Amino acid sequence: MLACAYFCFPSTCHPTSIVSSDEILPQLLELICDLYDGSQGLLERTDDAQLWYNRGYANGVIHALVLLGYARHVAAALEPDPRDLVEGHEALPWGKAYRHGWDMGQKETFEIMETG
């Protein structure tokens, strides 16, 4: 599987760089771990929508990776949140930030991992 991506250092990055999904996968796993670490205590921080967005983004990436057949890789990297993590918060501003992050994480993961 190949995807066009910009995951490279500026000195070596070219818009036509072709990066395999196997090369992108470790970067995505590192990203979700970093986002999980940075959003610890999420449920106690309803004042920080960015934390909620970040956690949603990570979970959207995880959802896409699982659908693409990388569940084993995700499970080896971290323990994903339960599906009902934000239950009861959906209509509130931080819940909406989470959902927007989730949607973007899933969408962008599919875009870069696309099998074309």
Q: Which mean pLDDT values do the consecutive 10-residue runs of the chain (116 residues) have? A: 34 55 94 97 95 98 97 96 95 98 98 75
Residue 45 domain flag: yes
pLDDT of residue 17: 58
pLDDT of residue 11: 40
In this structure, what DSSP letter does residue 22 have?
H
Residue 94 domain flag: yes
If one counts the domains in the chain, the total is 1
Sign of CA dihedral 96, 91, 71, 42: positive
pTM for the predicted model, two decimal places: 0.83
Residue 40 domain flag: yes
- Among left, alpha and beta (phi > 0; psi -120 to 50; other), residue 13 is beta
The range of the structural domain enclosing residue 64 comes to 21-113
Exposure string over 63-81, b if 16+ CB within 10 A, otherwise e: bbbeebebeeebeebeebb
The amino acid sitting at 92 is L
